Chains A and B, each alone.
Chain A
Amino acid sequence: MDINESLQRAEQILSTWAPVALHPSPERVDVSLPDKWLKAAVLALRDAKWGYLSAITGMDHPGTVEPVTEEQRWQRLENEGENATGGESREGTLEVLYHFCEGAAVLTLRVSVRYSFPVLPSICGIIPAATLYERELSEMFGIRLVGTPNVDKLLLPDDWPDGVFPLRKSFHGLTEVEKSGPEVKK
């Protein structure tokens, strides 16, 4: 099937939820969605038999932290002069990319969640094969998927500490305390 035809059909199917579509390259179309419409959009794609779910990618976008001490604030004023914004902080977000493929065409649904509320609806009810991708996503990025059938560990060790997500940018290895968790018997 023609690539452009596939991409146009995808845009048409999704136009109800996301009027703006981006074309990062000729064979791709990217659509950003609010999380509440994710399931509806996936269902519409399935009903229209558009392609198959190829992968789910997680991405971490750490936020900027407001300077905490008086000294840091002064430092900032000195560095940025009059343009200093007065220490705005931006909360980090986690972005999830659902890649669908049909022939050579690749459609990406992009959904973002905030660090403080990293929750997304599961799409396993619509696409059963997504369960392994969702388990990987929640382990590596700490996103809670509501309604996913299995939340057991898939890839990380059984004694991996709770609340540590290795693919977040802030992860640089386990601390000694985390390594020798309470279960370890000497």
Chain B
Amino acid sequence: MKIILIGGGKTIYFLAKQFIAEGQSVTIINRDPEESQALSHELDATILLGDGSDPEILEQAGTGSADVLLSMTSRDHVNLVACQVANEKFDVARTIALVNNPENEEIFRKLGVSLIFSATRIITSLLEQETDFMAITNLMAVAQGKVNVSEVRLPENALVSGKSLQELKLPAGFLLATIIRNGEVLVPSGSTILQAHDQLILIGQAENYRDVLRILTGE
């Protein structure tokens, strides 16, 4: 497979290294003379000095016979145009662009880039997952850790909000002791409806926790 990479920095270097190790043919287009020089010493790849969105440079890079083009510069308009030129002028089937500004995702998609990824979006979603996870606090362990008392705080977009406890079917051996809602303590029954931001105080055996959390996160 022939892969064209546009950009610089460590990500391009390690991506190229990985692809070369897999036996792919790699061409890198980089616009910094010093970095290009260094890359050509370090990698068994074709290195071209120039602007990766320039049709002439893409021609020199043999884009016509490439299977994939990946543009990862810090400038969105360069990534967009590089992918468009590769696709429209050189018939590259798969074009992948880094989108620096998450607002631009829609534009890239509408203007025909086959795959886009946004570092901002990826890191934000990692953090969101992390905070979802952080919303579970172990309050105390009883009987040498066989039983745990924990607090789960339902996030804003909790899938279980609006559902009654009966519908959730929490596993046996598990008790939802209390719900703290807007600072008030509720003693739940089967018909109690969960809401976003509820703090649930759970008591149960450690081995059942995973199942309960799966139900509460709606997975």
Do A and B truly interact? no
